[in-house]
Amino acid sequence: MSDSPLASSASSVSSAKGAAPQLVERAAALDAADVLAPLRDLFVLDRPATTYLDGNSLGALPRHVPARLQDVITRQWGELGIRSWTESGWWTAPERIGDRIAPLVGAAPGSVVVGDSTSVNVFKAVVGAVRLAAPAGDAAVPADGTAVPVRDEILVDATTFPTDGYIARSAARLTGHRIVPVDPAAATGPGSLLGSLGPRTAVVLVNHVDFRTGRLHDLPGITAAAHDAGGLVVWDLCHSAGALPVGLDAHGVDLAVGCTYKYLNGGPGAPAFLYVAERHQSRFDSPLPGWNSHADPFAMSPDFAAAEGAVRGRVGTPDILSTLALDAALDVWEGVRIEDVREKSLALTDFFLECVAEYAPPGRVRSLTPAAHAERGSQVALRCAEAPAVMAALIARGVVGDLRRPDVLRFGFTPLYTGFADAERAARVLGEILAEVPAEVPAQAPAETSVEGSAESPAATPRADAGPGANE
Ligand SMILES: Cc1ncc(COP(=O)(O)O)c(C=O)c1O
Ligand SMILES: Nc1c(O)cccc1C(=O)C[C@H](N)C(=O)O
């Protein structure tokens, strides 16, 4: 792998065929003024050969992680062996590392724990939330005999990453609730999240940023509205943790989950995290109470007594190698302000859209990502009729984004290591490829954001993912 400093990458871009000089110069100026630019050297990036825009699927490797893992394996495991559970702090790693993630998502110490996959944590959070809400079937019957509707509905983001939907449906079957699919982006009306809240709402499960379109949902507004209706909210932060300020405590979120292998760079299959608001912790009743969630695990008691705090969200023995790789990866956040990350993320995605408008032949791609900053996460999704061939060609030329079938090109922008010259190069290579790949059908779908101009709400896209193909 070769890494080169920003300056040499900018000069290689400026001499590139077909580059628009004003964009190359702007990219160089923006990179030079970027307060986060020095962090890029903390990562292994195959530059200039590769422009890595897939940190919204798998974050890049921080340089120091291999040596730290080597120590965990050879010294902590090899030499200390079983003693490392105490002497190397293995036993308390899930809550200690949770406390390192907490400030990045606006959570108090003691409210975040790492472990298991996001999917498993969605299960814990949804069932836990249902148990915190008024139990289904427990209708209060007032003196006049009028039945009060029970809280028997789980509202689920209809555009959710599939695993959340599958797990919510299973949780609903187990708890006797019904699933109500809702559109979290629609302001009001039938089918909208806000319009579906009511006295039957027990729990709302929403993705903070839509994995496909990059749309950022209104966490403060949805949380407040769900509470006004008497329900609880579970947020999936996979695409926002480490990409933008979340403010879990400030906005009164009940429970949240997220993965650590995207913007937190914890590595493939790194453990996920679970947030339980302080005010709910004493009543949080995990559906997966394992011995690691017990108040005194080594009592090995047949009776379960839940630990205090976020620790009760643990289940069984943590995956120490992955957990400590994540621990090491989090070092790159030392002194980094998430507000600076957000500012750069928006500037990067704005600039990329501007470059795409300059380089892409008219009408070949349309942005599904909202133009409004308040509605945008840290990725750009472009609808393109020839997306599978185009993404394969992009990857072959060193621009690594991903494809979401059938027709979405996704580009993730990770402010810790993505620069403005990367955005310019990616858009330029995309333009070259689009000029070579013949158009299948005119891409003129309405109600999307044209990269050439105005912003409108993107339509929900059909989902047909079945398994990984070329960078899926
Ligand atoms: C929003 C969201 N939730 C959940 C997941 C996946 O969960 P898991 O870590 O269990 O694979 C992803 C991505 O894989 C995701 O984007
Ligand atoms: N977790 C993934 C994996 O193990 C393989 C490939 C992709 C992923 C992803 O994270 C996909 C991602 N959540 C998405 O937004 O599409």
Residue range 99-107: mean pLDDT, rounded: 98
Between 7 and 301, where is the model more confident?
Answer: 301
Residue range 253-267: mean pLDDT, rounded: 98
Residue 310 lies in a domain: yes
pLDDT digits (tens, 9 = 90+) for 119-141: 999 999 999 999 999 654 444 55
Residue 13 lies in a domain: yes
Which pLDDT belongs to residue 149? 53
Judgement on whether residues 125 and 194 belong to the same structural domain of the protein: yes
Structural domain count of the chain: 2
Annotated binding site for pyridoxal 5'-phosphate: 118-119, 161-164, 236, 239, 261, 291, 317
For residue 398, pLDDT beyond 70: yes
- When pLDDT is cut at 50, 70 and 90, the band that residue 468 belongs to is low
Judgement on whether residues 99 and 150 belong to the same structural domain of the protein: yes
> Which residues span the domain enclosing 82?
69-333
- When pLDDT is cut at 50, 70 and 90, the band that residue 10 belongs to is very low
Judgement on whether residues 169 and 315 belong to the same structural domain of the protein: yes
Which pLDDT belongs to residue 195? 97
Q: Say if the ipTM goes beyond 0.90.
A: yes
Residue 150 lies in a domain: yes
**CB of 236 sitting under 6 A from ligand 1:** yes
Which pLDDT belongs to residue 11? 39
261 is catalytic: yes
Measured from the CA of 211, which atom of ligand 2 is nearest?
A: 15
For residue 231, pLDDT beyond 70: yes
Domain harbouring 359, CATH code: 3.90.1150.10
Judgement on whether residues 290 and 386 belong to the same structural domain of the protein: no
For residue 452, pLDDT beyond 80: no
Residue range 321-347: mean pLDDT, rounded: 98
Place of tokens 């903070």: 208
Instruction: Find, among 151, 214, 142, 207, the residue nearest to 375 by Cα.
Output: 214
Q: What is the dihedral of CA 32, 35, 41, 44, to 10 degrees?
A: -100
The 3-state secondary structure of the chain reads: CCCCCHHHHHHHHHCCCCCCHHHHHHHHHHHHCCCCHHHHHHEECCCCCCEECCCCCCCCEECCHHHHHHHHHHHHHHHHHHHHHHHCCCCCHHHHHHHHHHHHHCCCCCCEEECCCHHHHHHHHHHHHHHHCCCCCCCCCCCCCCCCCCCCEEEEECCCCHHHHHHHHHHHHHHCCEEEEEECCCCCCCCEHHHHCCCCEEEEEEECECCCCCEECCHHHHHHHHHHCCCEEEEECCCCCCCCCCCCCCCCCCEEEECCCCCCCCCCCCCCEEEECHHHHHHCCCCCCCHHHECCHHHCCCCCCECCHHHHHCCCCCCHHHHHHHHHHHHHHCCCCHHHHHHHHHHHHHHHHHHHHHHCCCCCCEECCCCCHHHECCEEEEECCCHHHHHHHHHHCCEECEEECCCEEEEECCCCCCCHHHHHHHHHHHHHHHHHCCCCCCCCCCCCEECCCCCCCCCCCCCCCCCCCCCC
- When pLDDT is cut at 50, 70 and 90, the band that residue 97 belongs to is very high
Residue range 57-85: mean pLDDT, rounded: 98
Residue range 259-267: mean pLDDT, rounded: 98
Residue 469 lies in a domain: no
The closest residue, in CA terms, to atom 9 on ligand 2 is: 57
Ligand in nearest proximity to the CA of 114: 1
For residue 206, pLDDT beyond 70: yes
Annotated binding site: 118-119, 161-164, 236, 239, 261, 291, 317
Judgement on whether residues 262 and 305 belong to the same structural domain of the protein: yes
Judgement on whether residues 321 and 356 belong to the same structural domain of the protein: no
Cα separation of 130 and 124, whole Å? 10
Cα separation of 282 and 202, whole Å? 19
For residue 235, pLDDT beyond 50: yes
Question: Of 309, 333, 357, at which residue does a domain stop?
Answer: 333
For residue 451, pLDDT beyond 80: no
Average pLDDT, the chain: 91
Judgement on whether residues 294 and 216 belong to the same structural domain of the protein: yes
**CB of 270 sitting under 6 A from ligand 1:** no
Residue 18 lies in a domain: yes
Residue range 349-378: mean pLDDT, rounded: 98
Residue 358 CA, ligand 1 centroid: distance in Å:
33
- When pLDDT is cut at 50, 70 and 90, the band that residue 444 belongs to is low
Domain harbouring 306, CATH code: 3.40.640.10
161 is catalytic: yes
Residue 247 CA, ligand 2 centroid: distance in Å:
24
Residue 311 lies in a domain: yes
Residue range 286-314: mean pLDDT, rounded: 97
**CB of 117 sitting under 6 A from ligand 1:** yes
Phi-psi region of 411 (alpha: psi -120 to 50; beta: other; left: phi over 0): beta
